[in-house]
Amino acid sequence: MKKIILVFTLLASSTLFAGPVVEIYECELNEGKSYDDLSSMMDTFSGYLEKAGLEDTYTAHVGFQQIPVKAGSVNWIGISPSAEDFGKAIEWFTSSEDGRTFGALYESVYSCENSFMTYITASSK
């Protein structure tokens, strides 16, 4: 029982003191797609976030890899101010019609192989 309480306390405290949540996906444009398609997709995503009232809950950035140069690269960087906000964004993405529609759109524009997520616990000043 003590182990269960300790694990629960550690999990609760790790999210309590954690800062923003950042997720990063390393992707490539699908054949026939361009950075203009990517930009249009991001405009659509912004509209969906605003419609859902999540514009302050999740912010996404996309860019291409420069070092080393990787043709057709797309790096998706998503940021939420907290784990709770990130959960709201994921819930929208997985359980709303707009979220699923956006998922189909981004899969049509690029494909991802590598990703990771982290909490920011400290920053330089």
Q: For the chain, what is the domain count?
A: 1
| d(C-alpha 112, C-alpha 52), whole Å | 25
Q: How far apart are CA 6 and CA 2, in angstroms?
A: 6
Whether 2 maps to a domain, the answer reads no
Q: Which helix (H) or strand (E) holds 41?
A: helix 35-52
In a domain, 96, yes or no: yes
Q: Tell me which residue range forms the domain holding 74.
A: 19-119
For residue 1, tell me if it sits in a domain. no
The domain that holds 79 is classified in CATH as 3.30.70.100
In terms of pTM, does the model score above 0.85?
no
The Cα 58–Cα 42 span in angstroms is: 13
Q: Report pLDDT for 26.
A: 94
61 domain-assigned:
yes
Distance CA 47, CA 50 (A): 5
- Strand 21-29 to strand 110-119: parallel, antiparallel, or no bridges (unpaired)? antiparallel
Q: Which of the residues in the chain have pLDDT under 50?
A: 1-3, 5-11, 13
